[in-house]
Amino acid sequence: MNIYPVILTGGAGSRLWPLSREYFPKPLLPLVGDRTLLQESALRLEGLDAVQPPLFVCNEEHRFLVAEQVQEIGQTPTGILLEPEGRNTAPALTIAALALVEKSPEAVMVVMPADHVIPDRERFQGTVAEGIALAEQGFLVTFGIVPDRPETGYGYIRRGQAIDDSPAFAVAQFVEKPDQATAEEYLASGEFLWNSGIFVMRADRWLEEIGRFRPEILAACEQAVAGGRSDIDFCRVGKEAFLSSPSDSIDYAVMEKTDHAAVVPMATEWSDVGAWSAIWDISLRDEQDNVTQGDVLTHEVRGSLILAQDRCVAAVGLEDMVIVETSDAILVAPKDRDQDVKAIVAQLKAADREEHRFHSRVYRPWGDYEGIDLGDRYQVKRLTVKPGASLSLQLHHHRAEHWIVVSGTARVTKGDEVFILTENESTYIPLGTTHRLENPGTIPLEIIEVQSGSYLGEDDIVRFEDVYDRVQ
User: pLDDT by residue (tens digit) across 171-215?
Assistant: 999 999 999 999 999 999 999 999 999 999 999 999 999 999 999
Q: Return d(Cα 136, Cα 128) in angstroms, integer.
A: 12
CB 273 within 8 Å of CB 181: no
Q: Report the pLDDT averaged over residues 394-400.
A: 96
CATH number of the domain residue 99 falls in: 3.90.550.10
Q: How confident is the model at residue 233 (pLDDT cuts 50, 70, 90)?
A: confident
CATH number of the domain within which 398 lies = 2.60.120.10
Answer yes or no: do 253 and 151 share one domain. Answer: yes
Work out the average pLDDT over 346-355.
95
Q: What is the pLDDT of residue 469?
A: 81
Contact 370, 310 (CB under 8 A): no
Whether residues 236 and 283 share a domain: the answer is: no
Task: Identify whether 58 is part of a domain.
Answer: yes
Residues 36 and 137 reside in one and the same domain: yes
Domain count, the chain: 3
186 neighbors 192 (Cβ within 8 angstroms):
yes
Using CA atoms, how far apart are residues 179 and 153, in angstroms rounded to an integer?
9
pLDDT-based confidence at residue 472 (cuts at 50, 70, 90): low
Identify whether residues 333 and 408 lie together within a single domain. no
Instruction: Look at residue 61 in the predicted model and tell me its pLDDT.
Output: 87
Smallest CA-to-CA distance from 128 within 171, 167, 75, 78 is with 167
* Structural domain contains residue 228: yes
Which of 219, 245, 266 is the endpoint of a domain?
266
Given a cut of 80, is residue 21 above it in pLDDT? Answer: yes
Is residue 351 situated within a structural domain? no
H helices within 73-189, ranges in order? 89-103, 121-136, 180-189
Q: Do 50 and 171 fall within a single domain? A: yes
348 belongs to a structural domain: no
Q: Does residue 104 sit in the same domain as residue 252?
A: yes
401 and 293 share one domain: no
Q: Is 102 inside a domain boundary?
A: yes
Same-domain status, 38 and 186: yes
- Domain of 335 in residue numbering reads as 276-341
State whether 290 and 192 are in the same domain.
Answer: no
